Chains A and B, each alone.
Chain A
Amino acid sequence: MLSRTADHLFWMARYTERAENTARMLDVNVQTALLPQSGEAARQAWRALLGISELQHGYDEKHEAVTQHDVIEFMVCDPSNRSSIIACLTEARENARAVRGTLTTEVWEVTNQTYLDLRRRLHGGQLRKDPSQFFEWVKYRSHLWRGVTLGTMLRDEAINFMRLGTSLERADNTARILDVKFHGNDSDARRDFYYWAALLRSVSGFEIYRKVYRDVITPERVAELLMLRADMPRSLLACMEEVVANLRQVRNDVSSDTERLAGKLHAELQFARIEDILEAGLHDTLTEFLRRIYELGNGVSRDFLVPLAA
């Protein structure tokens, strides 16, 4: 297919995933904010969230103080924040529009409707009244989009590039969430349970944790579940499996280096042990992972799509 078409599909998928993950992250914070804590701790938590996507600077330029209300506004409805939900869903729709001819009617309509409904909801003030419900809606629309893409589109390269986009974005976002949540930890034991439970729920992993571990929630196991368990759909390893599989489907004459990078990263996760990672340092591991995911994204652009540098 045309590189430009694949590029639009790739980015449509990435932006949809990014919007969903932003909603998930915001939801975690909203839930944990309900727990008894000091004002300072709450502020720290919101600041940490901004840190996940490296948005502190952008936020500080527009807002005096860190408050739940303002951070949510910034992360949901500020179009100048390129990672905001509105920015992401607008981009997703623009990319879909550009390749409307390659999408099935259902995929276009879902993407378009999400965009139109978002504007309506924001106007209607739902975000202020019931933020959790709003975030649920965003997640739901993302599930719907995924379902309709996989359910209606021809199983050709279009699907491969969309899956690549989704998986790379998901891996990136999950690593970031993990990094911040582990970094910004304090040692209040009771807070630990609710803290980790909220994190697990944000990646739809709470029940899965129980099934897999049948034991108390510990940070080590949370990290292991989210990084190394292939059967956990949002784990880094599961994402890398998708990346490797889809790269193999679309391989061309110049993609072997990128395939190798992806294969290596996948293999390392596959054979890693959480003890070794924690000993080497979770933060360092995740930072390195993020760097390699970023390189992979560039590799995909360079080998198949419209190179970002052009």
Chain B
Amino acid sequence: MQRSPNFYNEMSADGVVREHYREFADWLAQQTPDAIERKRMEADLTFRRVGITFAVYGDNAGTERLIPFDLIPRIIPASEWQQMQAGLVQRVRALNMFIDDIYHEQHIIRAGIIPADQIYRNAQYRPEMQGIKVASDIYAHIAGIDIVRAGAGEFYVLEDNLRVPSGVSYMLEDRKMMMRLYPELFASHKVAPVEHYPDMLLDNLRSVAPMGVLDPTVVVMTPGMYNSAYFEHAFLAQQMGVELVEGKDLYVTNNAVWMRTTHGPKRVDVIYRRLDDDFLDPLAFRADSALGVPGLLSVYRAGHVTLANAIGTGVADDKSIYPYVPDIIRFYLSEEPILNNVPTYQCRKKAELDYTLANLPDLVVKEVHGAGGYGMLVGPASTKEQIEDFRQRLIARPDGYIAQPTLALSNCPTFVENGVAPRHIDLRPFVLSGKNISMVPGGLTRVALREGSLVVNSSQGGGTKDTWVLEA
């Protein structure tokens, strides 16, 4: 196993295997490369049969691309998870209170903590939601919080995903695969189970049904089979035992939402929607959307249907609000944040802009309203020219950018061409909010498969690992 002196290695420190990895390291040492290879192929074949692929149904030739699955799990000891879980509960609770406040009294704006224009001019702020009462005052029923470990081993929240977070199906299928391939490992390790996620999700969704509905009808709403996350939509619907619908299966009449079934219209009470706000209702949002249900917003406003996640959660999860989250936690909960943000410099503030301009070669600068990739500068990986070019852009429009120090992301041993080598990882736990805030232990671990790469996205060469939270 290689040593990476500058990065926190999940498995070992200074060549000594960490306690929670010892059992596994011993087991790994006894596996032959051939045996591993056979298991890898078995995993591939099974994933293909199940259909858990990326851009699953888009190819006419019938070939589908797999997201690479690495056999070495990412193991987290119970104590670390305890801490992370408490931090996640706190953060998601505060974020939900924030969203509720924004769409009602707006105390946080009045208190001067967040400038009004950060909210109102945010494209994800939906004026249509102003004043609407949502079930249990919960907006982000499903939150995917991206966490990285950096430096000497501290955890940081990299990003909050409160709109349509995805990836949980990989978490579940990875666990299923590991248990199938290596049942002996689950005998020798006390791995906290995750299989009950769909049950938890269904329970949460049912708990936020409109008032007075005794046996709510829940559906999963998908944009359709050409969406790259379609597998997950179909998977979750099937695991929860609910219908998978597209916009065209639903219609609004008499102030309710109905599903077209072979037994006539059936009223729908809770919609777990995997579409962006913009496409939900052509009468309220994008008029050209054929994926939504005309009139859906009016039924939502009347409280006759619940949407999970609510419309307008994006006001809380973009990069312009991210720097305020620690203050948001303090404001609503009067507590200090348990999980830290990555230190962030808002270039809209003069002092922070000055700092950023002075330290461009060492920083990562991101567009506030971008999707990473274009409009991002990774200082240490850029040429002088690129840095100068970016400097001009920054000076022209400073309030469009935030800057963060480059993080030394932790890495985890991963199977590569020539054996095992460290690769950078992150973690996305899925936090459920309904009658209470809950989650299954762990989450989706994504791994950057290219050496040195920090990019874990599956569309850009990333893979996944099973995440093990060890029970105490």
Kindly supply a per-residue 1/0 record for chain A positions 67-100, scoring 1 wherever the CB is within 8 Å of any chain B CB and 0 otherwise.
0000000000000000000000000000001101
Contact A2 B261 (CB under 8 A): yes
* B-side contacts of A2, CB under 8 Å: 243, 245, 249, 259-262
Contact B262 A161 (CB under 8 A): yes
The residues in A between 79 and 134 inclusive whose CB is less than 8 angstroms from any CB of B are: 97-98, 100-101, 105, 112, 115-116
Report if A1 contacts B (CB, 8 A): yes
A273 to chain B, nearest CB (A): 37
Report if B83 contacts A (CB, 8 A): no
Contact B244 A101 (CB under 8 A): yes
* B-side contacts of A216, CB under 8 Å: none
Report if A252 contacts B (CB, 8 A): yes
* B-side contacts of A97, CB under 8 Å: 57, 225
B242 to chain A, nearest CB (A): 11
With A2-B245, A2-B261 as given contacts, are A100 and B237 in contact (CB-CB < 8 Å)? no
Contact B237 A252 (CB under 8 A): no
Contact B225 A98 (CB under 8 A): yes
Contact B262 A304 (CB under 8 A): yes
Report if B375 contacts A (CB, 8 A): no
* B-side contacts of A115, CB under 8 Å: 62
Q: In the docked arrangement, what's the CA distance between A305 and B260, Å?
A: 9
Q: In the docked arrangement, what's the CA distance between A254 and B261, Å?
A: 12
Contact A3 B260 (CB under 8 A): yes
Which of A98, A100, A105, A252 makes the CB contact (< 8 A) with B262? Answer: A252
Report if A279 contacts B (CB, 8 A): no
Q: Which residue of A lies closest to B250 (CB)?
A: A2
Kindly supply a per-residue 1/0 record for chain B positions 235-271, scoring 1 wherever the CB is within 8 Å of any chain A CB and 0 otherwise.
0011000011110110000000001111110000000
* B-side contacts of A305, CB under 8 Å: 262
Report if B397 contacts A (CB, 8 A): no
* A-side contacts of B260, CB under 8 Å: 2-4, 306
Report if A171 contacts B (CB, 8 A): no
Contact B225 A1 (CB under 8 A): no
Contact B57 A3 (CB under 8 A): no
* A-side contacts of B248, CB under 8 Å: 4
Contact B262 A101 (CB under 8 A): no
How many contacting A-B pairs (Cβ < 8 A)? 46
Q: In the docked arrangement, what's the CA distance between A101 and B225, Å?
A: 10
B229 to chain A, nearest CB (A): 14
Q: Which residue of B lies closest to A306 (CB)?
A: B260
Q: Which residue of A lies closest to B246 (CB)?
A: A4
Report if B38 contacts A (CB, 8 A): no
Main secondary structure of the interface of B (DSSP, over half): mixed
Report if A154 contacts B (CB, 8 A): no
Report if B234 contacts A (CB, 8 A): yes
Q: In the docked arrangement, what's the CA distance between A185 and B51, Å?
A: 52
Q: In the docked arrangement, what's the CA distance between A13 and B245, Å?
A: 22
Q: In the docked arrangement, what's the CA distance between A117 and B243, Å?
A: 32
Contact A101 B243 (CB under 8 A): no
A304 to chain B, nearest CB (A): 5
Q: In the docked arrangement, what's the CA distance between A21 and B248, Å?
A: 33
Kindly supply a per-residue 1/0 record for chain B positions 298-342, scoring 1 wherever the CB is within 8 Å of any chain A CB and 0 otherwise.
000000000000000000000000000000000000000000000
Report if B49 contacts A (CB, 8 A): yes
Q: Which residue of A lies closest to B222 (CB)?
A: A101
Contact B263 A252 (CB under 8 A): yes
With A3-B249, A105-B49 as given contacts, are A250 and B262 in contact (CB-CB < 8 Å)? yes
Q: In the docked arrangement, what's the CA distance between A100 and B248, Å?
A: 18
Q: In the docked arrangement, what's the CA distance between A116 and B61, Å?
A: 8
A22 to chain B, nearest CB (A): 23
Contact B264 A252 (CB under 8 A): yes
Which of B62, B237, B238 makes the CB contact (< 8 A) with A116? Answer: B62
* A-side contacts of B244, CB under 8 Å: 101
Q: In the docked arrangement, what's the CA distance between A250 and B262, Å?
A: 8
Q: Which residues of A contact B (CB under 8 A)?
A: 1-4, 6, 97-98, 100-101, 105, 112, 115-116, 157, 161, 250, 252-254, 304-306
The 4 closest A-B pairs by CB, nearest first: A101-B234, A3-B260, A304-B262, A252-B263
Q: Which residues of B contact A (CB under 8 A)?
A: 49, 51, 57, 62, 225, 234, 237-238, 243-246, 248-249, 259-264
Q: Could you give 21 example pairs across A and B, Cβ below 8 Å?
A: A1-B261, A2-B259, A2-B261, A2-B262, A3-B260, A3-B262, A4-B248, A4-B249, A4-B260, A6-B262, A100-B225, A101-B237, A105-B49, A115-B62, A116-B62, A252-B262, A252-B264, A253-B263, A253-B264, A304-B262, A306-B260
Q: A1-B243, A112-B62, A306-B260 are in contact. List 7 more A-B contacts (CB 8 A).
A: A1-B262, A2-B260, A2-B261, A97-B57, A100-B57, A101-B238, A253-B264
